[in-house]
Amino acid sequence: MANQRQIGWFNLVLALLGSCVILFVVAPLVGIVLATPASDLKAASVDREVLESIRLTLAAALFATVTSALVGVPFAYLLARKDFWGRSIVLAVIDLPIIIPHSAAGIALLTVIGRQSLIGRLFGRPLTGTTAGIAVAMAFVSIPFLINAAREAFGSVDTKLEKAARTLGAAPWRVFFTISLPLARRGILSGLVLMWARGISEFGAVVIVAYHPMTTPVMIFQRFNDYGLGAATSVAVLLILICVAIFIMLRVFLRPKAEEF
């Protein structure tokens, strides 16, 4: 009986601590929604400049995610299956964009895609101030989420299935596309969602690489600086609501089916 009482108190403490975390996340979001008049939100939802920035933000983040997946997912498979010299260094390098201040990341990107960079000289114009430049900045700061999620997903796939297919004469590329990739698809899709979401929210690197055309996070910052909190709040709430709606739909889509438990 005493042991059960201790377990009950322990679980209660854990629940209270968890409630504090949930409150910490939810309170600012609920607060900003309640503080925004419906008229301001309606005005922002029909503002052509706001809608264009949202379209640009979603499209650039999606483009960055899809193109990164073409190289990131196969690379994640290599990291999950091969143990080579320097692997720990490679894993550390992949995580660097997460720990580097994103304003510093934007400055670093200028040396690669800016006016005086090799790319700028080869193509006659830099990628700064372009949609492609925005996508590059988004990809740089968010690709670790995709690679790490895909690597863990491939790591959870039973290698015996791959070895059995190889024994039956299947080529490595066929094993990858017919066994490894399908079995790891949910983890990979989760990584894609995380990368896309992280790209949508990026500000520091994007504002340095391309202040114009203006993504929504940059527009929120610009309106806050120029017109104050009220002008920025409605745009922020609109972006939050769109992101939450997309996130919920994708989470429902990616939810494991009952028979897969």
What confidence tens digit (pLDDT) does each residue in 200-227 have?
Answer: 999 999 999 999 999 999 999 999 999 9
| pLDDT over 70, % of the chain | 94
Residue 259 has what pLDDT?
A: 42
Could you list the beta-strand ranges (E) of 170-235: none
CA neighbor of 115 nearest in space, from 129, 94, 99: 129
> Are the CB atoms for 202 and 138 separated by under 8 Å?
yes
Q: How large is the angle between the packed helices 216-227 and 48-81, nearest 10 degrees?
A: 140
Residue 143 has what pLDDT?
A: 96
Six token digits for residue 9: 């108190």
Which of 5-9, 181-185, 251-255 reaches the highest mean pLDDT? 181-185
Tell me how far apart the alpha carbons of residues 184 and 186 are, in angstroms, rounded to a whole number. 6
> Are the CB atoms for 198 and 105 separated by under 8 Å?
no
DSSP 177: I
CA count, 13 A, side-chain hemisphere, 64: 32
Q: How does pLDDT run across 97-133, given as a tens digit for each residue?
A: 999 999 999 999 999 998 877 777 776 778 889 999 9
Contacts of 81 (CB under 8 A, 6+ apart): 154, 159
DSSP 91: H
Q: How does pLDDT run across 159-206, given as a tens digit for each residue?
A: 999 999 888 888 999 999 999 999 999 999 989 999 999 999 999 999
Q: What pTM, to 2 d.p., does this model score?
A: 0.89
